[in-house]
Protein backbone atom coordinates (compact mmCIF):
# COMPACT_ATOMS: atom_id res chain seq x y z
CA UNK A 1 0.00 0.00 0.00
CA UNK A 2 2.68 2.43 0.98
CA UNK A 3 5.42 2.58 -1.62
CA UNK A 4 7.38 5.68 -0.72
CA UNK A 5 10.57 5.30 1.26
CA UNK A 6 11.05 7.21 4.51
CA UNK A 7 12.33 10.72 4.88
CA UNK A 8 13.56 10.52 8.44
CA UNK A 9 15.25 13.36 10.25
CA UNK A 10 16.67 16.27 8.29
CA UNK A 11 20.44 16.30 8.36
CA UNK A 12 21.90 18.75 10.83
CA UNK A 13 24.19 21.37 9.33
CA UNK A 14 27.88 21.20 10.21
CA UNK A 15 27.54 24.37 12.30
CA UNK A 16 24.66 23.14 14.47
CA UNK A 17 23.99 20.18 16.71
CA UNK A 18 20.90 18.10 15.98
CA UNK A 19 17.85 19.03 18.00
CA UNK A 20 16.28 16.67 20.54
CA UNK A 21 13.54 15.90 18.00
CA UNK A 22 16.10 15.10 15.31
CA UNK A 23 18.12 12.91 17.67
CA UNK A 24 14.94 11.06 18.60
CA UNK A 25 14.12 10.46 14.95
CA UNK A 26 17.64 9.27 14.22
CA UNK A 27 17.53 6.88 17.18
CA UNK A 28 14.16 5.51 16.09
CA UNK A 29 15.46 5.03 12.54
CA UNK A 30 18.43 3.05 13.86
CA UNK A 31 16.13 0.85 15.95
CA UNK A 32 13.94 0.12 12.93
CA UNK A 33 17.00 -0.68 10.85
CA UNK A 34 18.21 -3.13 13.50
CA UNK A 35 14.79 -4.80 13.42
CA UNK A 36 14.94 -5.03 9.63
CA UNK A 37 12.03 -2.60 9.21
CA UNK A 38 13.78 -0.50 6.58
CA UNK A 39 10.85 -0.26 4.17
CA UNK A 40 12.77 -1.99 1.40
CA UNK A 41 13.58 -5.45 0.06
CA UNK A 42 17.13 -6.66 -0.55
CA UNK A 43 17.13 -10.03 -2.39
CA UNK A 44 20.89 -10.29 -1.80
CA UNK A 45 20.13 -11.15 1.84
CA UNK A 46 18.53 -14.46 0.85
CA UNK A 47 15.52 -14.02 3.12
CA UNK A 48 15.18 -10.35 4.05
CA UNK A 49 13.64 -10.44 7.55
CA UNK A 50 11.86 -7.84 9.64
CA UNK A 51 10.75 -8.31 13.27
CA UNK A 52 8.24 -6.02 14.97
CA UNK A 53 6.93 -6.38 18.56
CA UNK A 54 3.80 -4.58 19.69
CA UNK A 55 0.73 -4.63 21.95
CA UNK A 56 -2.75 -5.90 21.16
CA UNK A 57 -6.14 -6.30 22.79
CA UNK A 58 -8.88 -8.60 21.55
CA UNK A 59 -12.06 -9.70 23.34
CA UNK A 60 -10.95 -13.34 23.34
CA UNK A 61 -7.25 -12.93 24.26
CA UNK A 62 -7.33 -9.78 26.41
CA UNK A 63 -4.25 -7.51 26.60
CA UNK A 64 -1.03 -8.95 25.29
CA UNK A 65 2.18 -8.60 23.35
CA UNK A 66 2.60 -9.87 19.82
CA UNK A 67 5.69 -10.34 17.70
CA UNK A 68 5.20 -10.23 13.94
CA UNK A 69 7.98 -11.36 11.63
CA UNK A 70 7.98 -11.27 7.84
CA UNK A 71 10.65 -12.44 5.43
CA UNK A 72 10.72 -11.74 1.69
CA UNK A 73 12.83 -13.73 -0.76
CA UNK A 74 13.22 -14.74 -4.41
CA UNK A 75 13.55 -18.51 -4.97
CA UNK A 76 15.01 -17.77 -8.42
CA UNK A 77 16.87 -14.48 -8.88
CA UNK A 78 16.43 -14.78 -12.67
CA UNK A 79 12.63 -14.98 -12.36
CA UNK A 80 11.35 -11.47 -13.15
CA UNK A 81 7.68 -12.51 -13.38
CA UNK A 82 6.93 -13.97 -9.95
CA UNK A 83 6.23 -11.65 -7.05
CA UNK A 84 8.47 -12.01 -3.98
CA UNK A 85 7.80 -15.12 -1.91
CA UNK A 86 7.15 -14.61 1.79
CA UNK A 87 7.21 -16.21 5.22
CA UNK A 88 5.06 -14.56 7.90
CA UNK A 89 5.30 -15.58 11.56
CA UNK A 90 2.92 -14.18 14.17
CA UNK A 91 3.43 -15.06 17.83
CA UNK A 92 1.56 -13.78 20.87
CA UNK A 93 1.24 -13.98 24.63
CA UNK A 94 -1.34 -12.24 26.81
CA UNK A 95 -2.18 -11.61 30.45
CA UNK A 96 -4.95 -14.23 30.45
CA UNK A 97 -2.49 -16.98 29.57
CA UNK A 98 -2.89 -17.04 25.81
CA UNK A 99 0.11 -18.35 23.90
CA UNK A 100 0.34 -19.11 20.22
CA UNK A 101 2.24 -19.00 16.98
CA UNK A 102 1.11 -19.02 13.36
CA UNK A 103 3.16 -19.41 10.19
CA UNK A 104 2.14 -18.54 6.62
CA UNK A 105 4.43 -19.42 3.72
CA UNK A 106 3.73 -18.19 0.18
CA UNK A 107 6.13 -19.46 -2.49
CA UNK A 108 5.98 -18.55 -6.20
CA UNK A 109 7.98 -20.66 -8.66
CA UNK A 110 8.84 -20.85 -12.37
CA UNK A 111 7.53 -17.41 -13.38
CA UNK A 112 4.47 -17.93 -11.18
CA UNK A 113 3.49 -21.16 -12.93
CA UNK A 114 3.52 -23.00 -9.61
CA UNK A 115 2.47 -21.86 -6.16
CA UNK A 116 3.09 -23.60 -2.84
CA UNK A 117 1.21 -22.26 0.19
CA UNK A 118 1.58 -23.61 3.73
CA UNK A 119 -0.34 -22.49 6.82
CA UNK A 120 0.50 -23.84 10.28
CA UNK A 121 -0.83 -22.83 13.69
CA UNK A 122 -0.41 -23.86 17.31
CA UNK A 123 -2.09 -22.13 20.23
CA UNK A 124 -3.15 -22.65 23.82
CA UNK A 125 -5.54 -19.92 24.87
CA UNK A 126 -8.82 -19.14 26.64
CA UNK A 127 -11.80 -19.40 24.32
CA UNK A 128 -15.57 -19.02 24.44
CA UNK A 129 -18.58 -20.99 23.30
CA UNK A 130 -22.12 -19.60 23.24
CA UNK A 131 -23.76 -22.38 21.27
CA UNK A 132 -24.63 -22.61 17.60
CA UNK A 133 -26.49 -19.85 15.79
CA UNK A 134 -26.87 -16.09 15.92
CA UNK A 135 -29.51 -16.18 18.67
CA UNK A 136 -27.30 -18.22 21.00
CA UNK A 137 -24.37 -15.91 20.31
CA UNK A 138 -26.37 -12.87 21.42
CA UNK A 139 -27.35 -14.43 24.76
CA UNK A 140 -24.71 -13.50 27.35
CA UNK A 141 -26.10 -16.19 29.68
CA UNK A 142 -24.96 -18.86 27.20
CA UNK A 143 -21.27 -18.04 27.72
CA UNK A 144 -19.02 -21.05 28.32
CA UNK A 145 -15.40 -20.19 29.15
CA UNK A 146 -12.77 -22.85 28.54
CA UNK A 147 -9.14 -23.40 27.59
CA UNK A 148 -8.52 -24.37 23.98
CA UNK A 149 -5.49 -26.21 22.65
CA UNK A 150 -5.47 -26.17 18.86
CA UNK A 151 -3.09 -27.15 16.09
CA UNK A 152 -3.49 -26.89 12.33
CA UNK A 153 -1.45 -27.76 9.25
CA UNK A 154 -2.71 -26.84 5.78
CA UNK A 155 -0.48 -27.22 2.69
CA UNK A 156 -1.65 -26.35 -0.84
CA UNK A 157 0.03 -26.78 -4.24
CA UNK A 158 -1.33 -25.02 -7.33
CA UNK A 159 -0.48 -24.92 -11.03
CA UNK A 160 -1.37 -22.21 -13.55
CA UNK A 161 -3.63 -23.48 -16.34
CA UNK A 162 -4.78 -20.16 -17.84
CA UNK A 163 -3.55 -16.58 -17.42
CA UNK A 164 -3.85 -15.75 -13.68
CA UNK A 165 -5.88 -18.96 -13.18
CA UNK A 166 -4.78 -21.93 -11.07
CA UNK A 167 -6.00 -25.34 -10.04
CA UNK A 168 -4.59 -27.18 -7.08
CA UNK A 169 -4.91 -29.67 -4.28
CA UNK A 170 -3.96 -29.78 -0.65
CA UNK A 171 -4.73 -31.23 2.75
CA UNK A 172 -6.24 -29.80 5.92
CA UNK A 173 -5.51 -31.24 9.35
CA UNK A 174 -6.83 -29.63 12.52
CA UNK A 175 -7.10 -30.86 16.09
CA UNK A 176 -8.67 -29.18 19.11
CA UNK A 177 -9.08 -30.00 22.78
CA UNK A 178 -11.33 -28.14 25.22
CA UNK A 179 -10.41 -28.25 28.93
CA UNK A 180 -11.00 -26.35 32.18
CA UNK A 181 -14.61 -25.77 31.21
CA UNK A 182 -16.78 -23.68 33.52
CA UNK A 183 -18.28 -26.01 36.13
CA UNK A 184 -21.64 -24.22 35.96
CA UNK A 185 -21.58 -23.69 32.21
CA UNK A 186 -24.96 -23.89 30.48
CA UNK A 187 -25.53 -26.73 28.06
CA UNK A 188 -26.39 -25.32 24.62
CA UNK A 189 -29.36 -27.01 23.01
CA UNK A 190 -30.17 -28.20 19.51
CA UNK A 191 -26.72 -29.46 18.53
CA UNK A 192 -26.16 -32.24 16.03
CA UNK A 193 -24.30 -35.25 17.52
CA UNK A 194 -21.02 -34.24 15.88
CA UNK A 195 -21.37 -30.68 17.18
CA UNK A 196 -21.76 -31.49 20.88
CA UNK A 197 -19.61 -29.44 23.24
CA UNK A 198 -17.25 -29.97 24.93
CA UNK A 199 -15.13 -32.73 23.43
CA UNK A 200 -11.89 -33.37 21.62
CA UNK A 201 -12.13 -32.93 17.90
CA UNK A 202 -9.92 -34.01 15.02
CA UNK A 203 -10.68 -33.23 11.39
CA UNK A 204 -8.61 -34.17 8.35
CA UNK A 205 -9.15 -34.44 4.63
CA UNK A 206 -7.98 -33.50 1.14
CA UNK A 207 -8.84 -30.20 -0.52
CA UNK A 208 -9.36 -28.93 -4.07
CA UNK A 209 -8.82 -25.34 -5.20
CA UNK A 210 -9.80 -23.21 -8.20
CA UNK A 211 -8.29 -19.73 -8.17
CA UNK A 212 -8.23 -16.70 -10.45
CA UNK A 213 -5.71 -14.28 -8.95
CA UNK A 214 -4.62 -11.13 -10.80
CA UNK A 215 -3.45 -9.25 -7.68
CA UNK A 216 -0.12 -7.50 -8.12
CA UNK A 217 1.10 -8.49 -4.62
CA UNK A 218 -0.90 -10.86 -2.44
CA UNK A 219 0.31 -9.45 0.90
CA UNK A 220 -0.88 -5.94 0.02
CA UNK A 221 -2.63 -5.65 -3.33
CA UNK A 222 -3.07 -2.29 -5.04
CA UNK A 223 -4.87 -3.65 -8.10
CA UNK A 224 -6.37 -6.86 -9.43
CA UNK A 225 -8.84 -9.33 -7.99
CA UNK A 226 -9.10 -12.72 -6.35
CA UNK A 227 -11.80 -15.25 -7.20
CA UNK A 228 -11.29 -18.43 -5.20
CA UNK A 229 -13.28 -21.60 -4.57
CA UNK A 230 -12.02 -24.14 -2.03
CA UNK A 231 -13.62 -27.41 -0.99
CA UNK A 232 -12.33 -29.71 1.76
CA UNK A 233 -13.53 -33.30 2.19
CA UNK A 234 -13.09 -34.24 5.85
CA UNK A 235 -13.47 -37.99 6.06
CA UNK A 236 -13.05 -40.80 8.57
CA UNK A 237 -10.83 -42.54 6.01
CA UNK A 238 -8.19 -39.89 6.79
CA UNK A 239 -8.63 -40.14 10.55
CA UNK A 240 -11.33 -37.48 10.88
CA UNK A 241 -13.79 -37.93 13.73
CA UNK A 242 -16.71 -37.18 11.41
CA UNK A 243 -17.52 -36.86 7.72
CA UNK A 244 -18.32 -33.38 6.43
CA UNK A 245 -17.48 -30.97 3.63
CA UNK A 246 -16.50 -27.31 3.74
CA UNK A 247 -16.91 -25.01 0.71
CA UNK A 248 -15.37 -21.53 0.89
CA UNK A 249 -15.88 -18.84 -1.76
CA UNK A 250 -13.85 -15.63 -1.77
CA UNK A 251 -14.18 -12.60 -4.04
CA UNK A 252 -11.75 -9.76 -3.27
CA UNK A 253 -11.11 -6.72 -5.46
CA UNK A 254 -8.60 -3.86 -5.28
CA UNK A 255 -8.56 -0.53 -7.10
CA UNK A 256 -6.08 2.35 -6.99
CA UNK A 257 -8.11 5.56 -6.82
CA UNK A 258 -7.67 8.58 -9.09
CA UNK A 259 -9.85 11.18 -7.35
CA UNK A 260 -8.14 10.78 -3.96
CA UNK A 261 -4.87 9.03 -3.11
CA UNK A 262 -5.17 5.50 -1.86
CA UNK A 263 -6.70 2.11 -2.54
CA UNK A 264 -10.28 0.91 -2.30
CA UNK A 265 -10.57 -2.78 -1.40
CA UNK A 266 -13.68 -4.88 -0.94
CA UNK A 267 -14.36 -8.52 -0.17
CA UNK A 268 -17.18 -11.04 -0.04
CA UNK A 269 -16.75 -14.43 1.63
CA UNK A 270 -19.14 -17.33 1.89
CA UNK A 271 -18.48 -20.49 3.90
CA UNK A 272 -20.84 -23.44 3.58
CA UNK A 273 -20.58 -26.63 5.66
CA UNK A 274 -22.42 -29.88 5.02
CA UNK A 275 -22.52 -33.14 6.96
CA UNK A 276 -21.70 -33.85 10.62
CA UNK A 277 -19.83 -30.61 11.27
CA UNK A 278 -18.04 -30.51 14.68
CA UNK A 279 -18.41 -27.44 16.87
CA UNK A 280 -14.84 -26.25 16.23
CA UNK A 281 -15.24 -26.36 12.44
CA UNK A 282 -18.42 -24.33 12.21
CA UNK A 283 -18.17 -21.09 10.21
CA UNK A 284 -17.40 -18.15 12.49
CA UNK A 285 -17.53 -14.36 12.49
CA UNK A 286 -15.12 -12.15 14.41
CA UNK A 287 -11.39 -12.03 15.01
CA UNK A 288 -8.62 -10.19 13.18
CA UNK A 289 -9.89 -10.81 9.63
CA UNK A 290 -13.61 -11.63 9.57
CA UNK A 291 -15.50 -8.69 11.09
CA UNK A 292 -12.86 -7.10 13.32
CA UNK A 293 -14.31 -6.00 16.65
CA UNK A 294 -16.21 -9.18 17.55
CA UNK A 295 -15.05 -11.90 19.90
CA UNK A 296 -13.82 -14.82 17.84
CA UNK A 297 -15.82 -17.94 18.63
CA UNK A 298 -18.92 -16.18 19.90
CA UNK A 299 -20.87 -16.43 16.65
CA UNK A 300 -20.73 -19.74 14.78
CA UNK A 301 -23.02 -21.83 12.58
CA UNK A 302 -22.95 -24.08 9.55
CA UNK A 303 -23.32 -21.35 6.91
CA UNK A 304 -21.78 -17.88 6.79
CA UNK A 305 -21.60 -14.84 4.54
CA UNK A 306 -19.87 -11.50 5.05
CA UNK A 307 -18.84 -8.41 3.09
CA UNK A 308 -16.38 -5.67 3.98
CA UNK A 309 -15.08 -2.52 2.28
CA UNK A 310 -11.82 -0.80 3.17
CA UNK A 311 -10.20 2.51 2.16
CA UNK A 312 -6.41 2.48 2.48
CA UNK A 313 -5.01 5.99 2.68
CA UNK A 314 -1.29 6.70 2.24
CA UNK A 315 0.24 9.39 4.44
CA UNK A 316 3.70 10.91 4.45
CA UNK A 317 6.67 8.57 4.25
CA UNK A 318 5.89 5.00 5.23
CA UNK A 319 2.76 5.80 7.23
CA UNK A 320 -0.86 5.20 6.32
CA UNK A 321 -4.39 4.80 7.62
CA UNK A 322 -7.21 2.35 6.92
CA UNK A 323 -10.97 2.80 7.40
CA UNK A 324 -13.49 0.00 6.96
CA UNK A 325 -17.11 -1.07 7.31
CA UNK A 326 -18.48 -4.58 7.11
CA UNK A 327 -21.43 -6.85 7.82
CA UNK A 328 -21.99 -10.57 8.15
CA UNK A 329 -24.47 -13.20 9.25
CA UNK A 330 -24.81 -16.93 9.95
CA UNK A 331 -27.46 -19.59 9.50
CA UNK A 332 -28.06 -23.33 9.69
CA UNK A 333 -29.07 -23.52 6.02
CA UNK A 334 -27.94 -21.53 3.01
CA UNK A 335 -31.54 -20.58 2.23
CA UNK A 336 -31.83 -19.02 5.72
CA UNK A 337 -28.88 -16.64 5.35
CA UNK A 338 -30.13 -13.11 5.90
CA UNK A 339 -33.14 -14.14 7.97
CA UNK A 340 -31.34 -13.25 11.20
CA UNK A 341 -30.11 -9.77 12.09
CA UNK A 342 -26.70 -8.95 10.64
CA UNK A 343 -23.58 -8.13 12.62
CA UNK A 344 -21.96 -4.85 11.62
CA UNK A 345 -18.45 -3.54 12.09
CA UNK A 346 -16.57 -0.34 11.42
CA UNK A 347 -13.06 0.62 12.34
CA UNK A 348 -9.86 2.51 11.77
CA UNK A 349 -6.29 1.29 11.52
CA UNK A 350 -2.73 2.59 11.32
CA UNK A 351 -0.20 1.22 8.85
CA UNK A 352 3.60 1.35 8.84
CA UNK A 353 5.59 -0.09 5.95
CA UNK A 354 8.23 -2.37 7.47
CA UNK A 355 9.27 -3.98 4.19
CA UNK A 356 8.61 -2.99 0.61
CA UNK A 357 4.79 -3.07 0.39
CA UNK A 358 4.52 -5.08 3.62
CA UNK A 359 2.69 -3.29 6.42
CA UNK A 360 2.54 -3.56 10.16
CA UNK A 361 -1.11 -3.06 11.05
CA UNK A 362 -2.77 -1.76 14.20
CA UNK A 363 -6.57 -1.96 13.87
CA UNK A 364 -9.35 -0.83 16.19
CA UNK A 365 -12.66 -2.46 15.31
CA UNK A 366 -16.11 -1.70 16.73
CA UNK A 367 -19.04 -4.10 16.59
CA UNK A 368 -22.50 -4.23 18.13
CA UNK A 369 -21.48 -3.63 21.74
CA UNK A 370 -17.99 -5.12 21.28
CA UNK A 371 -14.58 -3.89 20.19
CA UNK A 372 -11.08 -5.20 19.60
CA UNK A 373 -7.54 -3.91 18.99
CA UNK A 374 -5.41 -5.99 16.63
CA UNK A 375 -1.66 -6.10 15.97
CA UNK A 376 -0.34 -8.06 12.98
CA UNK A 377 1.63 -7.99 9.75
CA UNK A 378 -0.17 -7.91 6.37
CA UNK A 379 -3.66 -6.71 5.56
CA UNK A 380 -6.87 -8.31 6.80
CA UNK A 381 -7.69 -9.23 3.19
The predicted structure's pLDDT at residue 197: 60
Taken as a whole, the chain contains a residue count of 381
pLDDT tens sequence across 324-340: 999 999 999 999 999 98
Architecture per CATH, domain 20-377, reads as Beta Barrel (2.40)
DSSP structure class, residue 286: B
The predicted structure's pLDDT at residue 182: 75
- pLDDT tens digits for the chain (381 residues)? 444 434 434 444 445 567 877 777 777 778 777 788 888 899 999 999 999 888 887 767 788 898 999 999 999 999 999 999 999 999 999 998 899 999 999 999 999 999 999 999 999 998 889 989 999 999 888 888 889 999 999 999 999 999 999 999 999 999 999 988 875 665 544 444 444 566 789 999 999 999 999 999 999 999 999 999 999 999 999 999 999 999 999 999 999 999 999 999 999 999 999 999 999 999 999 999 999 999 988 999 999 999 999 999 999 999 999 999 999 999 999 999 999 889 999 999 999 999 999 999 999 999 998 998 998 889 999
3-state SS assignment for residue 193? helix
| CA quadruple 245, 192, 290, 213: dihedral, nearest 10 | 10
The predicted structure's pLDDT at residue 10: 42
pLDDT tens sequence across 177-188: 998 887 566 554
Q: Where are the domains of the chain?
A: 20-377
- Contact criterion met (CB below 8 Å) for 309 and 326: yes
pLDDT tens sequence across 84-114: 999 999 999 999 889 999 999 999 999 999 9
- Phi and psi at 24, nearest 5°, equal -65, -40
Helix residue spans in the chain (DSSP H): 20-34, 134-138
337 Cβ neighbours under 8 A, 6+ residues apart: 303, 304, 305, 329, 330, 331
The predicted structure's pLDDT at residue 266: 98
Amino acid sequence: MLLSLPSWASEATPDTDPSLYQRGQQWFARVLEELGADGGFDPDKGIDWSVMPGPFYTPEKSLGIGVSTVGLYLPDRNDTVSQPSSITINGFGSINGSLGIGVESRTFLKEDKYRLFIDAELQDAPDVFYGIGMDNGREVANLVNFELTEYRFKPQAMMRVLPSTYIGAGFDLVGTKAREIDADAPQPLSLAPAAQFPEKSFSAGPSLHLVHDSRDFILNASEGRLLQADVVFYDEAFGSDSDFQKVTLNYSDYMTLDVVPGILAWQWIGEFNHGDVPWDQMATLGGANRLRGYEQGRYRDRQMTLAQVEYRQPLRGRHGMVYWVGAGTLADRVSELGDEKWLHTLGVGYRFEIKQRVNLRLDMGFGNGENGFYFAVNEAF
